[in-house]
Amino acid sequence: MSREERIARNEALFREVNEQIKDVNDDVPAGSEAGFVCECGDPECTSTVSLTLVEYEEVRSEPTHFAVLPGHVVPDVEVVVARNERFAVVRKNEPQAARIAVREDPRS
């Protein structure tokens, strides 16, 4: 398995966990922050990232987008498309990683 494929699979797994976290938090007011798993490609990362449910839905609107903590970006596999003080939104720019992200999207 290539490094890019491993990173994409890790991020897809974290995204699935976050879908379950989102379901648990569905009754939280839309502007309130909830703790989600950092969707970076590091399999050892256990950090949480705070997003509102609206922010989370914005990230999930694109299957190649993931929410990561600042400093958790892998520049040769992804590009930052948005950021704030709490998190960055990255898009898979490496073709194999992008295909995996789309294929593994639980909302597809």
Confidence of residue 106 (pLDDT cuts 50, 70, 90): confident
Q: Which of 16-25, 39-48, 70-79, 94-103 has the lowest mean pLDDT?
A: 94-103
* pTM recorded for the entire structure: 0.86
3-state SS of the chain?
CCHHHHHHHHHHHHHHHHHHHHHHCCCCCCCCEEEEECCCCCCCCCCEEEEEHHHHHHHHCCCCEEEECCCCCCCCCEEEEEECCCCEEEEECCHHHHHHHHHCCCCC
Tens digit of each residue's pLDDT (9 = 90 or more) over 10-64: 888 899 999 999 998 888 887 889 999 999 988 899 999 999 999 999 999 999 9
